[in-house]
Amino acid sequence: LFHLPILQSNQPVRTIHTIRTHCFFIVRNDQLERSGVYREAEDMDKPKRQNSWGEEKVVVFVEANDCLSVESKWKVDKQLKTQKCHKCSLPRLKSEKDLYRIDEKSRAEHYVATVKLNGLGPNFRLERLIGRVRSLYILERPLMEDIKKLAVVGCGSMGGGLALLFAEKGLGVLLNDPSEETMDGILSQAKDGGIGDRISKYTDYKTLCENLDSPKVFLFSLPHGSVGDSVLEGLLPYLMKGDIIIDAGNEHYSNTERRQGKCVTKGIRYVGMGVSGGYQAARRGPSMCPGGDDETLDMILPLLRKVAAKDRRGISCVGKAGTSGSGHYVKMIHNGIEHGMMSAVSEAWGIMVWGLGMKYEEVGDTFEKWNKDEQLASRGTFLIDIGANICRTKKSDGSKVLKEVEDKVVQDITGEEGTGIWSNEEAVELHIPAPTLATAHFLRLASADRAQRSRVKDTFGGDFPPQKLEVKDKSAFLEDLRLATYAACLAAYIQGINEIEEADRMHKWNINYAHVLQIWRAGCIIQADYIADMLQPIFAEFETKDSMNLLFEKSVAQDLKEAQPSLRKIVIKALEGDFVVPALSASLEYIKYSCSLDLPTQFYEAELDYFGKHMYDKKGDDPEGKPETGKHHFEWKAA
């Protein structure tokens, strides 16, 4: 095989690196020196020459799916030159449509085709390939047979749901969990569902591994932290080069990268994959966010597409997030966005129930209208959709379930959930303002300890209960509330994407934002059809942008600008009535200070210089406004 880089950008096409993948491009380039074909050699800096081609060429390995994602820039010859694969006699490529379908096939087939790239300048970058490409040939072949068996290690609500889902799709599923009772419960459900013959349980790693195919494929659904390390240590003696581990827990990305580093030295493939949608989606089709090396992702994507959620267009909500630990990082930020959106929707619910005196049924009807009206910016938002159902759901005695739910969110305290904490830590570490995400998390923390709140209430001699709101036009007020909720949800998206971009810049993960948006289109908690449709053209062109800060985008800015007056009205009314609205109010402040050039930090900076000699910039002396130490100090008071 021939090898050339796809992992680094801005490298000359003639630089040789060894990577592994399953498809290659033979590129002819007028500007390359006449050096024949670069063959793989012991000394990659001195490649062997092979002049049998009769013309200057260089073999370039890249990942086909990513290259085909720029298909809009390709103009395929009407007279496609095709030939049979030299390895087999599979069908020839017959049309441009067939070429583009390669990306969608569950298994790659052998095709050879000539494609012309027209009108591309010398700086055109096809993934990480630099140079003026005149023509290229594609050969793709399967890396491995379809995955027919996998082991699910960790059979809680998420792992159990995924095990049943994979079995429904025809796979043989081998269960492993410390609790036999848990595994027996899954086996019972499988039997009831007519798929009992596809699921089996194993209590030790040796027997588990002996009953898997080669390569062995594992799906971890484990708590974050040391549990994953213990399971990996237990499995390692039975693993071989080429075996695959898909870590589908809510793991911290740094743990994922550490395990990837440990596995790669043994030739074991380790993918960190975020799974969203909760236990119900795990059973019916979740959103999946895998991160790892391209070759391994190509091997597992056909499997994941079988079970992933489908958006309203029928496209699977799974794709390559990026390399290394990016899959778990993006899922972590997804959960931070989720917390911001949940807080905003819950605050809107509180205003309707306690401020307007609306019955639960009426609130459910309002949420349904917000969610289903095609003209509304709140359209297709999962959290609003389930909000309508929650408001309407009754117990067998006719009473509303919601009425008996205590106001405590304890997952952060009990250790069940770490992603919200990590996403806020990342915002601080990366110097990204994310107030909607942060204040939503603080509300969760305050809510968890109801005993503490009760004691504070006693100390105060009472609390500040929300007041009945006097509104002249209820319909107009509800429309303002809808726009306010939408603005906060959009602000949460913006803040989360900014975190991802800065982390990507630091870690060099090559985040594919188009894939990330597709992953979030269905099956996940932050699904929001209107927002996704608005972001689609922006994310599709992510490679051409100097920044993914959505506040730089006209369409996003226009929506926030139009929603800001409504958000301001709602926050003012809420504050006057003593409502708890941290996400809504933080989002309003975020919009204001993000576009302001006259912040009260002018005085803040002066005080810093006064007591700490921290320096400042003079007005008019810093046209670029970059975050750098100022050049001036004033001796406000002699030391």
Same domain? For 268 and 355 the reply is no
Give the residue among 166, 174, 253, 261 at the shortest CA–CA distance from 210. 174
* Active-site residue identified among 320, 331, 553, 573: 331
**Residue 619 belongs to domain with CATH number:** 1.20.5
- Average pLDDT for 368-375: 84
Tell me the residue range of the domain where 562 lies: 336-510+553-594
Same domain? For 291 and 344 the reply is no
pLDDT of residue 146: 83
Instruction: Give Cβ neighbours of residue 227 (< 8 Å, ≥ 6 apart).
Output: 154
Same domain? For 574 and 602 the reply is no
The span from the CA of 282 to the CA of 276, in Å, is 8
Report yes or no on 363 lying in a domain: yes
* Residue at token pair 């069908």: 91
Same domain? For 360 and 430 the reply is yes
Same domain? For 391 and 312 the reply is no
Report yes or no on 103 lying in a domain: no
The span from the CA of 465 to the CA of 291, in Å, is 46
Same domain? For 399 and 430 the reply is yes
Output the DSSP codes for 374-398.
TTSTTTTBHHHHHHHHHHH-B-TTS
Q: Is 363 helix (H, G, I), strand (E, B) or coil?
A: helix
pLDDT of residue 638: 87
The span from the CA of 4 to the CA of 17, in Å, is 5
- Worst-scoring range by mean pLDDT, 111-120, 161-170, 555-564? 111-120
Which has more confidence, 82 or 345? 345
Give the residue among 569, 382, 578, 579 at the shortest CA–CA distance from 489. 382
Q: What is the largest CA-CA distance in the chain?
A: 91
Same domain? For 291 and 409 the reply is no
Report yes or no on 116 lying in a domain: no
- Average pLDDT for 126-141: 33
**Is 619 known to be catalytic?**
no
pLDDT of residue 590: 98
Residue at a domain's end among 320, 349, 384:
320
pLDDT of residue 34: 27
pLDDT of residue 132: 30
CB of 536 closer than 8 Å to CB of 521: no
Report yes or no on 390 lying in a domain: yes
pLDDT of residue 189: 95
The span from the CA of 365 to the CA of 630, in Å, is 55
In Å, how far are 116, 399, 612, 623 from 549, measured between CA atoms?
34, 46, 33, 21
Report yes or no on 232 lying in a domain: yes
pLDDT of residue 144: 55
* Residue-wise pLDDT tens digits, 429-453: 999 999 999 999 999 999 999 999 9
Q: In the structure, what pLDDT confidence band is assigned to residue 239 with cuts at 50, 70 and 90?
A: very high
Same domain? For 227 and 351 the reply is no
Which has more confidence, 279 or 461? 461
- Average pLDDT for 114-122: 32
pLDDT of residue 516: 97
Report yes or no on 416 lying in a domain: yes
pLDDT of residue 477: 98
**Residue 369 belongs to domain with CATH number:** 1.10.1040.10
pLDDT, averaged across the chain? 81
pLDDT of residue 522: 95
Same domain? For 451 and 580 the reply is yes
Same domain? For 404 and 438 the reply is yes
Predicted TM-score of the model (pTM): 0.78
pLDDT at 249 over 60: yes
- Average pLDDT for 481-502: 97
pLDDT of residue 603: 97
Exposed/middle/buried for 107, CB within 10 Å: 0-12, 13-18, 19+? exposed
pLDDT at 3 over 70: no
pLDDT of residue 375: 64
Residue at a domain's end among 320, 353, 382:
320
pLDDT of residue 79: 35
- Worst-scoring range by mean pLDDT, 27-31, 296-300, 413-417? 27-31
- Worst-scoring range by mean pLDDT, 11-20, 337-346, 543-552? 11-20
pLDDT of residue 378: 77
The span from the CA of 216 to the CA of 206, in Å, is 12
> What is the helix (H) or strand (E) element at residue 291, kind and residue range?
strand 287-291
Report yes or no on 539 lying in a domain: no
- Worst-scoring range by mean pLDDT, 44-58, 449-463, 531-545? 44-58
- Average pLDDT for 320-324: 96
* Residue-wise pLDDT tens digits, 385-426: 999 999 999 999 999 999 999 999 998 888 777 898 999 999
* Residue-wise pLDDT tens digits, 547-579: 999 999 999 999 999 999 999 999 999 999 999
* Residue-wise pLDDT tens digits, 61-101: 333 333 332 232 333 333 333 333 333 333 333 443 343 33
Same domain? For 460 and 579 the reply is yes
Q: In the structure, what pLDDT confidence band is assigned to residue 622 with cuts at 50, 70 and 90?
A: confident
* Active-site residue identified among 168, 338, 417, 501: 338
pLDDT of residue 212: 96
**Residue 279 belongs to domain with CATH number:** 3.40.50.720
**Is 331 known to be catalytic?**
yes
pLDDT at 357 over 70: yes
| Number of independent structural domains in the chain | 3
User: How many of the other CB atoms lie within 10 Å of CB of 147?
Assistant: 19
> What is the helix (H) or strand (E) element at residue 576, kind and residue range?
helix 554-576
513: Cα separation from own chain's centroid = 8
In the chain, the percentage of residues whose pLDDT exceeds 90 is 72
User: How many of the other CB atoms lie within 10 Å of CB of 285?
Assistant: 21
Same domain? For 340 and 285 the reply is no
pLDDT at 299 over 70: yes
Report yes or no on 55 lying in a domain: no
